[in-house]
Amino acid sequence: MRRRRVLWGGLGVVAAAAGVGTALWRSRDEPDTSRLWSLRFPRPGGGELVLAEMHGKPLLLNFWATWCAPCVTEMPLLDRFYSEHRATGWSVVGLAVDQEVPVREFVGQRSIGFPIGLAGTDGLELARALGNSQGGLPFSVAFDAAGRPKARKLGALDQKTLAAWAEGGG
């Protein structure tokens, strides 16, 4: 009888350890986004981009730079996505991993409807924290309305990917 209790107790400990291990294993790829929503970035035309204002609705966050050819190429696609989906609650934010002057000139020469923030080199660390282990650009993350990352893409986005993200709410 005592052996049986010890056996069942041991099995219980093993099951609990397996549960904790599984939870840790599943969460290893989930970035900590708690700090994200408190961040603020200067805008190239003046003012401030406050990410807390984007919380509560789906968000497409794009890391880019003026010197990154794929980043520049996808800007019209991102702007079109913003125009088509903002009525359904979507926000789009571009965080420039770049210096202020080239970003200000870039934005001044183009019609971009979504907000752009100046993240500078700190933007690369933020992108890494959000799952961009390679540190490449462009890098995009789709968040659901609760602020959880739902999809990530390193490299240029395409219409098919954006349509899938819009349909899935992030």
> Both 52 and 71 in a single domain?
yes
Regarding whether 11 and 63 lie in a shared domain, the answer is no
pTM over 0.95: no
76 and 12 co-located in one domain: no
Q: Provide the residue range defining the domain that includes 76.
A: 36-168
Q: How far apart are CA 70 and CA 75, in angstroms?
A: 9
pLDDT in tens, 20-71: 343 333 444 566 677 899 999 999 989 999 999 999 999 999 999 999 999 9
How far is Cα 145 from Cα 139, in angstroms, rounded to an integer?
20
Tell me the pLDDT band of 136, cut-offs 50, 70 and 90. Answer: very high
Instruction: Quick: pLDDT tens for 91-120.
Output: 999 999 999 999 999 999 999 999 999 999
At 50-59, the pLDDT tens digits run 999 999 999 9
